[in-house]
């Protein structure tokens, strides 16, 4: 699998997890409905997937900002989404620094 296809697969896996979390009516760490945040994250990931395909790389600043934002509201017992974002970083052709 090429780095570009690995990156696409990582984005797709994260998007699939987001959709599953939406269907499961995930709550935030503070107990609020996470679906609006998940919807926003889904849009962000789709947009960055398209941008990274054009430029051949994930924007490191976007990634850091997005990861920090997700950690702010994600419940502690749901680390899978952080893992899915981590796969995007690991599939990135160049290290995110």
Domain boundaries, the chain: 3-91
* Secondary structure of residue 9 in the 3-state scheme: helix
pLDDT over 70 (residue 94): no
Q: What is the pLDDT of residue 63?
A: 95
CB atoms within 10 A of CB 80: 13
CB atoms within 10 A of CB 76: 7
Taking the C-alpha atoms of residue 86 and residue 29, their distance in angstroms, rounded to an integer, is: 20
Burial class (CB in 10 A: 0-12, 13-18, 19+), 32: exposed
Higher model confidence: residue 24 or residue 92?
24
* Secondary structure of residue 59 in the 3-state scheme: coil
Q: What is the pLDDT of residue 56?
A: 84
pLDDT tens, position by position, 26-83 = 999 999 999 999 999 999 999 999 999 998 889 999 999 999 999 999 999 999 999 9
Q: What is the pLDDT of residue 4?
A: 67
């Amino acid at each position: 699998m090429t780095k570009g296809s690995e990156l696409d697969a990582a984005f797709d896996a994260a998007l699939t997890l987001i959709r599953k979390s939406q269907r499961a009516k995930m709550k935030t760490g503070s107990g609020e409905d996470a679906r609006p945040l998940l919807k926003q994250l889904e849009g962000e990931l789709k947009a960055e997937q398209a941008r990274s395909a054009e430029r051949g790389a994930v924007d490191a600043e976007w990634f850091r900002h997005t990861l920090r934002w997700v950690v702010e509201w994600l419940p502690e017992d749901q680390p899978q989404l952080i893992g899915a974002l981590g796969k995007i970083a690991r599939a990135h052709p160049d290290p995110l620094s």
